[in-house]
Amino acid sequence: MKENIFVTINCLNMFYGKKPFEVGRIVRLIKEPDNEYDHEAIGVFLPFIDRIGYVANSVKTVYDGTSSAGRIYDSFDDYAYAQIMFVTHSCAIGLLLDKSDVQADEQDKQPEEQPKPKKTTHKAAGGKKTMGFKG
């Protein structure tokens, strides 16, 4: 994506509230062309949780400076990603990301076989043991 495109994510009260939204978290935006209420609906999903909201698509719910679901609908195929930038009392603001950047990052994060770090203990004054901190 060449320019920064922000979206408002709403319907938090219909699902899990603000709990799944953390600044910096990556969410998946999935088109829902068969949605009975809005043919330009874009659901917001997290792995293992399912839907956590929708990209706003009404002049009453889209925050100034953000794009509606209708405006971004044709900018990606079936799904896209967004990074949560802000969380308010009733919605979240996400930055639309380039799909190839997110997928490349996921491949980079594949777990490698690494030796487990040794746990160290240090004796503190009075003979007590503390884990990981010098006493």
The structure tokens listed for 59 are 């002049």
Asked if residue 130 is part of any domain, the answer here is no
Q: What is the pLDDT of residue 121?
A: 46
Mean pLDDT of 60-66: 92
Q: What is the pLDDT of residue 132?
A: 34
Asked if residue 36 is part of any domain, the answer here is yes
Number of neighbours of residue 124 by Cβ within 10 angstroms: 12
Asked whether the predicted pLDDT for residue 129 surpasses 50, the reply is: no
CATH number of residue 68's parent domain: 3.30.70
Asked if residue 121 is part of any domain, the answer here is no
Q: Over the stretch 14-42, which tens digit does the pLDDT of each residue have?
A: 887 888 889 999 999 999 999 999 999 99
Q: Over the stretch 65-122, which tens digit does the pLDDT of each residue have?
A: 999 999 999 999 999 999 999 998 889 999 999 888 787 655 555 555 544 444 444 4
Angle ∠(103,104,109) on CA atoms, nearest 5: 95
Asked whether the predicted pLDDT for residue 9 surpasses 80, the reply is: yes
Q: What is the pLDDT of residue 15?
A: 83
Angle ∠(124,129,130) on CA atoms, nearest 5: 85
Contact 71, 57 (CB under 8 A): no
Q: How many folded domains does the chain comprise?
A: 1
Number of neighbours of residue 59 by Cβ within 10 angstroms: 7
Residue in this structure with the two tokens 């698509």, named with its chain if needed: 57
CA nearest neighbour of 10 among 111, 70, 91: 91
